[in-house]
Structure 1
Amino acid sequence: MSIEPAMIEAAFLAACRAELDAAKPGNVHRFAPGHGMSAAIFEASAVAAAPFIALRCAHVGARIWGATEASWAAAGMNTNLGIVLLAAPLAAAAEVAGDFFAKPGPPIDALRRALEAVLADLGPKDARDVFAAIALASPGGLGERTTHDVRSPPSIGLVEAMRLAEADDLVARQYANGFREVFEIGVSAIAAADPAVAPWPGLGPAMDCFLAFSSRFPDSHILRKFGPGRAEAVRARMATFAKHLKQEANPDAALALALGFDAELKGEGVNAGTSADLTVASLFAMKLAEALRW
């Protein structure tokens, strides 16, 4: 079984758009801009990045560098580095997932096994390209390291470099642990989403996925920008919000609750951006598995 680049590209764009459709508190979405950005900028970045994410037989690093460069040209700022870092290995895995099918077993398991092989095969050029992409995007809160700084040529492998950052960066941790949180938290949250809530404006599986991450982990973007204390405080507030949202049976009231909390966090300059990146990756994994099924 093979999956064509057009299918991977379509799955990536669908995941990015589904995430923008969710009224994620503190994060940019279709219901409200924030942090000097709008949903249109993120969509333009996704459209620019998609062909590189889906580039047939390309190395992971080449996909990341091409997508980051294209996104930067489209938006003039870093909008989707975390998304690109997570999506490129998943796309590469989808190309070879047909070799990892086992009966019985769902396509998502084959994708996960293929991803393990992709991560194990990352080489020096992948590290060089990813370091260059991170340096170009220069994400908020990116500090300098005395060793293995992304602005210098890498002297270690990409997974090893990601392990150095995994304690404070949930995107880096995915490279170190085989995307465990994406599959076991994000994909699981999407699969368990209440189908009755799915049509509610601003809510549904993407929101459930975002809250599964933001209420469980101090967000890496907030941690880099404001420190661990603030990141943990926002995590606790996300958990309280998720509980209240689940108790709300009226779609309009639920959306109003989400937008109220959204405005509150944006007023504080707080953005759980890493939770949003992981949401896109989880949606992308699900959509790739659906494509593999056919």
Structure 2
Amino acid sequence: MGLAPPEIATLYQAACLAELDALKPGNVHAHAAGHRMTVADFVASAAASAPALTQGGAGIGARVRDAVAATRAAVGQNTNLGILLLCAPLACAAERGSDLASVLAALDPADSAGVFAAIRLAGPGGLGRAGRHDVAAAAPDALLAAMAEAAPRDRIARAYGDGFADLFAVGLPALDSARRDGLDPVWCTTAVHLAYLTAFPDSHVARKHGANRAEAVRAQAAASLAGLDLRTRPVARLLALDRALKAAGINPGTSADFTVATLFCDALAGAGARLGTAGAGT
């Protein structure tokens, strides 16, 4: 038995808002705007996209496409494509009472067409061109094939092929560890973001600035945050990194997208959804 769409929508919006409350170096958050976007843009995006993302009985492609369109109508820019690509399979699995592996295995040509349409509509920065499965061309029948092609350069695409392994290996363990350390929810969210930021080069940074720069940003963050104890609420230290990244035009957006998806997945699991993939349960 799955969760009802209104409950899923409530949990999705809560995850989006919780991510905004946390200090996430380089991203938009309650402590500082950035990259020509504000917290209000993301709040409006969460509200606008929630009905489409959680529409009962819809496939993943339709959810993402319609949610991107609703976001564009609300704020006039791409604020949440990565969030939607990660959260749509979670929402779909929760509604069906299924797991992620089954939902991803059932993707069909309509899902592929919907996702490609959503990407074209969102127009994410630094997308470039691909030799095969370019989003400017017709969508392939097999979305997973297109995601596999993009996986080496995009962690969100990779998630579709590996069953959201980063979520289960990085995000959820970081969230659990933060809770065991006694952090409040806002600082737990920061802990999740920092785990992603330092675990691998951010795909959004790589698309806009190149793979070498993305790795340099990951290393810079790891060095800057070495020995950091979030129990001390180190706002000044995190804001210093935040300013440095934004001054350089660096937005680790993929880390933020995975942070929302982690909070959403955790909330769905808390409501009774069974989303775990083989070898990684929640």
TM-score after normalising by structure 2: 0.93
Q: Number of aligned pairs?
A: 274
In structure 2, the residue matched to 1:176 is 161
Partner of 1:20: 20
**Alpha-carbon distance change, 95 to 249 in structure 1, aligned in 2, over 3 angstroms:** closer
Whichever residue aligns with residue 107 of structure 2, its letter is L
Is the contact between residue 245 and residue 258 of structure 1 (CA under 8 Å) also seen in structure 2? no
Aligned residue in 1 for 2:276: none
User: Would the aligned equivalents of 2:89 and 2:100 in 1 still touch at CA under 8 Å?
Assistant: yes
What's the counterpart of residue 6 of structure 1? 6
1:256 to 230, 236, 240: 236
Of the three residues 259, 274, 293, the one matched with 2:254 is 274
- The Cα offsets for residues 23-63 of structure 1, whole Å up to 9 and x where unpaired, read as 11110001100010011101100110011111111111000
Aligned partners of 2:221 and 2:241 also within 8 Å:
no
CA contact (8 A) 1:132 1:151 kept: no
Residue pairs, 1:208-227, within 5 angstroms: 208-227=191-210
Contact 2:112/2:142 (<8 A) preserved: yes
How far off its partner does 1:196 sit?
5.6
Opposite residue 36 of structure 1, the aligned amino acid is: R
Q: Mark the runs of 5 or more structure 2 residues left unpaired by the alignment.
A: 274-282
Distance, in Å, in 2 between the alignment partners of 1:119 and 1:2 is 17
Is structure 2 residue 30 aligned with structure 1 residue 45? Answer: no
> Cα offset for 1:145?
2.1
Q: Which AA in structure 1 matches 2:95?
A: E
Q: Is the 8 A contact 2:159 2:166 kept in 1?
A: yes
CA deviations on 1:148-179 (whole Å, 9 max, x unpaired) are: 21122113411110000000100000001111
Q: List per-residue Cα deviations over 1:194-234 (Å, max 9, x = no partner).
A: 4565338xx51111111111101000011111111111111
Q: CA deviation at 1:144?
A: 1.4
Q: Give the structure 1 partner of residue 58 of structure 2.
A: 58
Aligned equivalents of 2:231, 2:67: Cα separation in 1: 40
Amino acid at match of 1:9: A
- Gap runs ≥5 in structure 1: 101-113
CA shift at 1:243, angstroms? 2.2
C-alpha contact 1:185 1:213 (8 A) present in aligned 2: yes
Percent of pairs with identical residues: 47
1:214-253 pair list within 5 angstroms: 214-246=197-229, 250-251=232-233
User: 4+ residue runs of structure 1 moved beyond 3 angstroms?
Assistant: 194-197
